Structures are given as C-alpha cells and as structure tokens.
Amino acid sequence: MKTVKILAIGNSFTQDPLRYLHDMAKQRGVNVKCVNLVIGGCSLERHYRNMLSEKPLYFLELNGEGSGFQVSLKDALVCDQFDIITLQQASHFSHLPHTYHPYIEELAHYVRRYQPAAKLYIQQTWAYEDESQRLRAELGFTTHGEMMKQVADSYAEAAQLIGADGIIPSGFSMYRGVKAGLKMHRDTFHASLGVGRYALALTWQQALLGLPAKEDEFSCFDVPVTEEERLSVRRAVDTAFSHPGVDD
C-alpha cells in the first residue's frame, strides 16, 4: 500500500486537523504519514525568518503525536519525499492580505526548491466564535461569519498568487458546523477536541485524499462525540465542499 506523505508547515491550527487524520484514513484503507512542524501562533513572517536562519525551532509531530524532536524547516524538507505540503497564515493575521507578503511567495519558492514533485496546498484557517473577546476586542469583528468572509478572501488571493494546487477549506467546514449549532471551538478560537477536530480531519481527508466526508465512519475521539453529532459534522463538511462560502 502506497503511503501518502503530508508535511504541514504550521502552528496549533495544524495540530487540530492532524490529530485524527492518520487514524481516520487508515480505517478507510489509506496509509498516511502526517508530519507537522509546530510553533504556536507562528505567522508566515516567522516561518520565513525561520527559513532564513535554518535553526531547529519547530516541534516535530508525527501522525498527531509529539515526537520530542526539534527540527529546522530545511531538515524537514530534505528528510523525506513528500506528496503534499501545506502552508497557512497565523489565525490572527489571516484576514489581512498584506501580512502574507512577501513571505508566502518566498516560502513557496523554498518549498518547491527542495520538494519540486510535491503538491502545495494552503489550509484556509477558521474564524473565532461569536463569544470570543479576541474576535471583538483584538480583531474588531462582531460575528464569526464576518471574520470568515475576510479570511476566505485573503486565502483565495494568496493561493492564486503562489499557484497553489488547492485550498483546504477548513474555515468553511468550521463555519458550517457553527451554523448547524455544533460546539466547534474549545477556547473560542481553537477547534473543540471532538466535533471540531473531527470536522477538520474530514476536510483534509476529502481535500487531499479524495475520501468523501459523508462516507466516513470514524468514532475514536479524545472526548465523547454522539452519533447525532457525527452525522451533523459530516453534513457540515459536505456542505463546505458543495456550497463553499459564507452566507451571513
């Protein structure tokens, strides 16, 4: 069985989707190796500066678990042949198009230099929930949907600029889950450990592996998720793909 190798150059917003992805895909007969480079809150500018320094500043996670190792961006890029590599902006800058430049262009060039055969995707991060003080006081939004509109526009522009192979619509899946009345956030901005992370893993699974969310039967979560919630999550993710965008 061929192993699909994924490298995420991210932060805590890649920890959420990659917590379940390996086990979910394995249950459906697909072997996935998920390598995640993590620095909490890491922006594209900081990734770029880490790229220049070549210092081992990233915590390396494998298949949703910590490894105890720290590596540089270059270390990760030369250690294996990856099929898919992902980039993303820090969530608190994700609605601001000017914060992506020139960093995402330089990072894309660097990634393609070392991994020319890999597909390059951008993960569309998600908006904070309505009750978040960060949403209102720090970012100046009044609703989850209002932030999500600007986030989506910023990622669409960035993906076009670097010629990305696609966008992982994590933000739209979280948004659809919120609209369905699910508790998608755990601290008003990270994904909840059950339904939130499940929705994100389903989104990555469908976007990168072509496995439809509506056919998934995974049920081994870190916190309890009811059958009704699982069905609602799968519907939300399916809608994120069939009707991408923000309604409100």
pLDDT of residue 248: 72
> Among 178, 145, 202, 226, which Cα is nearest to 25's?
202
pLDDT of residue 107: 98
Interstrand relation of 119-123 and 166-168 (parallel, antiparallel or unpaired): parallel
Q: Is the dihedral of CA 168, 55, 106, 246 positive or negative?
A: positive
Q: Which residues of the chain have pLDDT under 70?
A: 1
- All structural domains of the chain, each given as residue ranges with its CATH number in brackets, are 3-171 (3.40.50.1110)
Is residue 170 a contact partner of residue 88, using CB atoms and an 8 Å limit? no
CA distances from 209 to 25, 46, 71, 195, 244 (A): 8, 29, 27, 20, 19
pLDDT of residue 49: 98
pLDDT of residue 121: 98
pLDDT of residue 128: 98
Could you give the residue ranges of the DSSP H alpha helices within 11-143? 12-27, 44-53, 73-78, 103-114, 133
Give the H/E segment covering residue 40: none
pLDDT of residue 186: 97
Residue whose entry in the numeric block shows the structure tokens 């915590």 = 59
The pTM (predicted TM-score) of the whole model is 0.97
pLDDT of residue 6: 98
Task: For 67-90, write each residue's pLDDT tens digit.
Answer: 999 999 999 999 999 999 999 999
Task: For 165-207, write each residue's pLDDT tens digit.
Answer: 999 999 999 999 999 999 999 999 999 999 999 999 999 999 9
Cα 204 from chain centroid? 7
